[in-house]
Structure 1
Amino acid sequence: MKRWLKLAAVAVVLAVVAVPMLQRQQEAAGSTASDFIAKLVKDAQQTEREFGIPASVTIGMAALETGWGRSSMTGQVTADGVVYDVNTLFNIKCTSTVSPFQTGCVPIRTAEYRSDGTKYYIVDEFRTYASWLDSTRDFARLLTTLTRYAPAFQYVDYPDQFVTEVRKGGYATDPKYSELVISIMRSHNLYQYNLRGQGPGYPEGMDPNGPTPPVTTVDPYTMFPQLLVGSRGDTVRSLQRLLNTLEAGIGVDGIYGSQTTAAVSAFQRAQKLTVTGKVDDATWQALLPELASGAKGEGVRVLQTHLQLKGGSVAITGSFDAATDKALRAFQQLHRIEGSGHSSYATWARLLG
């Protein structure tokens, strides 16, 4: 009897201790969310003024992406012994096109997965910012400049539908992404921060779940990297190689200088495109070859180079062989592009971007 009484007494003590501990954990979680919202709300509202994206959407998506600001990428990161002020809320990768809002790039080692499930590591570079405000502005710039997200801006008065359209545009592959963001917006009443009082709910007749297409639609008119004087890297090098197949006769150094500008202008003139000397979507589409099994030449080498850069197991031979076909289909499957086995515009866009 005494033993049972002692056990009961211990249980009571543990229960008494556990309740305040649970309360403290809940309060800490609530405090983290409250602090994050308080820190971000003015920037989200400023972004709404400039770009029209409801503040509740910016805060909700940033909360999900960063774990309420717990991600180290929201502040300083040390890489290769160098301290970077990253200040990113959306982890946008660096490309050949430099955003007017970024301060630079930070190299981050990340895990990728092949189609067979095996893991490998690559070093990706992510945009860095002077502040969270510039991060939200760059996020807004992404949504407003890619036409696959254009349908979302028909629903700036309906934040829930706005998020649904962003997800349908291919922002996230998780079909539950919009539900998670909307849950955050509702549980923390983020709608109260919208400048025009937009609340929860959907337009009449809209499906709140929003059908998820089996394949992400990639709009080739908006997904290609934009290249101009000062751009550098592998994509510029590939551009130079492709121009040389048309007897441009320029150096292949990965630097977009005066020679490359002149060659691009000449190509645009020959194709009856607007002559800007910059590589835009229309220029990419006129220049890029559509390749399939059996193709040979420099275009195939460029394709194999970028498949290899993305982690594909393929040799650079200039011949579209079975290994190239396998690597291409694996890349298309990984990026939810229709597995056609040929280098469609959507495939090129993801490879070059």
Structure 2
Amino acid sequence: MRRPAVYVALALALFWLGRESARLIPPAVGRSSAAPAAGAPLATAVREAWPTVRPGDRGTLVWTVQRLLKAHRVPITVNGVFDDATGDRVRAFQHDSGLQPDALVGVRTWSMLIKDTAPGDAGQQVEAVQDLLARAGWPADITGRFTMATHQSLLDFQRAHGLPPTGTADRATWLALTAARPRP
């Protein structure tokens, strides 16, 4: 009988498929609990691990959300406090963007808020980039103008975090900026 040979072949095929699927299937989006491989860039480690900003929060990420809302022409006071007024503005932005209006700024809301920001740009989104750079310990004057100094700080930040050094705040750079911790 040839059945044992068939079982061995089947077991080998399943083993091979399991190894190949682990290599070919990307890790789950938003999974941040797994440690990155040695030498893996931060961009890999924070793959889509956007912070959630919610009512009651205070600080730089709230400033960022408020500035980005303002960049989308949402009338809002930029004060770094996620108060009732900010919650109302976030819900309105979410509704207008076709999202579930829950006042929680998570991956879907961040995706609608962020804008590619490059040298020559000016406005609230540039202030948000500059503030996040400063929070992460990179020199940045918060002027609202994407100057050569902002460009250089962003390039340095991108290199230090394993991102392509483009000098433009694209999606991956925004993600790394919001996840970055202050440098010692």
- Is the counterpart of residue 273 in structure 1 residue 102 in structure 2? no
Tell me how many residue pairs correspond in the alignment. Answer: 153
Partner of 1:96: none
Q: How much has 1:253 moved relative to structure 2?
A: 2.2
**Residue number in structure 2 paired with 1:104:** none
Matches within 5 A, 1:95-244: 146-147=30-31, 166-168=35-37, 174-175=38-39, 216-217=43-44, 222-244=48-70
The match for 2:16 is none
Confirm whether residue 287 of structure 1 aligns to residue 110 of structure 2: no
Q: In the TM superposition, what whole-angstrom CA distance separates every residue of 1:21-42 from its partner, at most 9, and x where no partner exists?
A: xxxxxxxxxxxxxxxxxxxxxx
CA contact (8 A) 2:54 2:103 kept: yes
SS in 1 for 2:177: helix
TM score, norm. by length of structure 1: 0.39
The percentage of aligned residue pairs carrying the same residue is: 31
CA RMSD between the two structures: 2.6
1:305 aligned to 2:174? no
Measure the CA separation in 2 of the matches of 1:216 and 1:248. 30
Q: Per-residue deviation at 1:340?
A: 2.1
Letter in 2 for 1:327: S
CA distance in 1, matches of 2:43, 2:73: 36
CA contact (8 A) 2:61 2:178 kept: yes
Using the size of structure 2 for normalisation, the TM-score is 0.72
Structure 1 residue 235: deviation in Å? 0.9
Gaps of 5+ in 2: 1-27, 180-184
Structure possessing the higher relative contact order (Cα contacts under 8 Å, 6 or more residues apart): 2
Structure 1 counterpart of 2:81, one-letter code = I
Say if 1:217 and 1:337, in contact at 8 Å, map to a contact too.
Answer: no
Q: Which runs of 5+ in 1 are unaligned?
A: 1-143, 153-165, 169-173, 176-211
Q: Does the 8 A contact of 1:223 with 1:350 survive in 2?
A: no
Whole-angstrom CA distance in 1 between matches of 2:94 and 2:46 = 21
Residues 1:251 and 1:319: Cα distance change in structure 2 (over 3 Å): closer
Instruction: Tell whether 2:180 aligns with 1:296.
Output: no
| Higher share in strand | 1
- 1:352 Cα deviation after fit: 1.9
- Is 1:218–1:337's contact at 8 Å kept on the other side of the alignment? no
